[in-house]
């Protein structure tokens, strides 16, 4: 079972798009006891099959863990440094 964010990455669509699909009934989910949506990998098969029929240039296929949080850490540090230096100048 995948979270909506994991499923969106897997099929190469945005998180808001997959949430829309869930809320409109286009994509069936199960709910956790806390009310969160979980998506069976089998539910994504039609979307993955469509993607596999495309050429490599058109493909939206993504790695499940394709987005790295570590890349944003240096950017946050740079932004924090800029904010500090701008407050010192005042």
Query: Rounded to whole angstroms, how far apart are CA atoms 30 and 1?
Result: 9
Q: Say whether pLDDT at 86 is over 70.
A: no
- What pLDDT shows up at residue 37? 96
pLDDT in the model for residue 64? 45
Check which CATH number belongs to the domain holding 50 and give it: 1.10.1660
Q: How confident is the model over 13-57, as pLDDT tens digits?
A: 999 999 999 999 999 999 999 999 999 999 998 888 776 565 555
- What would the pLDDT profile of 55-78 be if each residue is shown by its tens digit? 555 555 444 444 444 444 455 555
Q: Give the structural domain span for 84.
A: 4-89
Cα atoms in the 13 Å half-sphere on the side-chain side of 59 = 13
Q: Torsions phi, psi of 37, nearest 5?
A: -80, 140
**Which residue has better confidence, 47 or 6?**
6
**What is the domain count for the chain?**
1
């Amino acid at each position: 079972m995948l979270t909506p964010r994991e499923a969106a990455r897997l099929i190469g669509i945005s998180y808001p798009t997959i949430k829309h699909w869930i809320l409109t009934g286009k994509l069936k989910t199960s709910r956790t006891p806390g009310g969160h949506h979980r998506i069976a990998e089998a539910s994504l098969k039609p979307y993955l099959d469509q993607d596999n029929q495309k050429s490599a240039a058109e493909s939206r296929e993504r790695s499940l863990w394709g987005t790295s949080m570590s890349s944003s850490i240096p950017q946050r540090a740079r932004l924090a440094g800029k904010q500090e230096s701008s407050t010192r100048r005042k």
